[in-house]
Amino acid sequence: MSQTLMALAAALPVVAGWSLHTLRLRRRIEAARRDPLSGLWTREPFEERARKALGLRPRAVMVLDLDGFKQINDTYGHAVGDAVIAVTGRRLARWSTFYGGVAGRLGGDEFAASICCYSPQGLREAMDDLAEQLRAPVEFEDHVLWVGFSAGVVPAQRGSGAGELARLMRCADEAMYGAKQTGGGWMAGADNATPAYRTVNGRRDGRRGTSAGHSLEGGSL
């Protein structure tokens, strides 16, 4: 009996050390899957989580661009542009968590989110809340900026499965472009809408990533 207790006591530091190593490894893996600037999930982990959530409860999928982001970089410099991305990331993270969802940075000034959506009225309230948060000024050093945005949001039809995310994001992107063409803000689309714009590499023609070698970084279209 005493030998067993001694063996267990000797093994405890090893087990504790391995558990700590495993925890640190998991944290490093998670950190690598987050965008370092905005703190949001990068595209792949965001889409993984959004796909899983689609089969659990009613959802809405949103795609968002910042308006005039390239001009901010060109006028004030990339440090100010980085601050705008960081603040936007924090605001989107708080908003998506409040509405039972997840948000990600897809690249450049392009973001996406998936939130719970139980009714059209609830979706309007959620999007109006987001608009209010994003329209608050961004303060960085001696700069105070009011940053516009364009967003498209699509409520998923009941019974939408995990394989529907790509189509929902495509429809949300169409609605976002419609909002951008009419002055910004947000616009709701239908998840069964026929695409109004040509698709290249699975994305609306002209979006970042639709041509070979085109960087994800850069301003809004």
The string of pLDDT tens digits covering residues 27-85 is: 444 556 799 999 999 999 999 999 999 878 889 999 999 999 999 999 999 999 999 99
Question: Distance between CA atoms of 4 and 11, rounded to whole angstroms?
Answer: 11
Task: List pLDDT tens digits, range 159-175.
Answer: 666 678 999 999 999 99
Highest mean pLDDT among 49-63, 115-129, 151-165: 115-129
Question: Distance between CA atoms of 149 and 210, rounded to whole angstroms?
Answer: 21
pLDDT at residue 138, as a whole number: 95
- Token pair of 96, please? 């998506």
Residue 145 has pLDDT above 70, yes or no: yes
Nearest Cα to Cα of residue 42 among 131, 123, 106: 106
pLDDT, mean over the chain: 81
Whether this model's pTM surpasses 0.95: no
pLDDT at residue 25, as a whole number: 44
CB neighbour list of residue 47: distance below 8 Å, 6 or more residues apart: 104, 165
Question: Distance between CA atoms of 130 and 105, rounded to whole angstroms?
Answer: 16
CB neighbour list of residue 58: distance below 8 Å, 6 or more residues apart: 116, 117, 118, 155, 156, 158
Phi, psi of 48 (to 5 degrees): -60, -50
pLDDT at residue 162, as a whole number: 62
CB neighbour list of residue 194: distance below 8 Å, 6 or more residues apart: none
Confidence band, pLDDT 50/70/90 cuts, at residue 219: very low
Continuous H helices in the chain: 2-32, 43-54, 69-76, 78-98, 120-134, 165-181
Residue 125 has pLDDT above 50, yes or no: yes
- 142 or 90, higher pLDDT: 90
Residue 207 has pLDDT above 60, yes or no: no
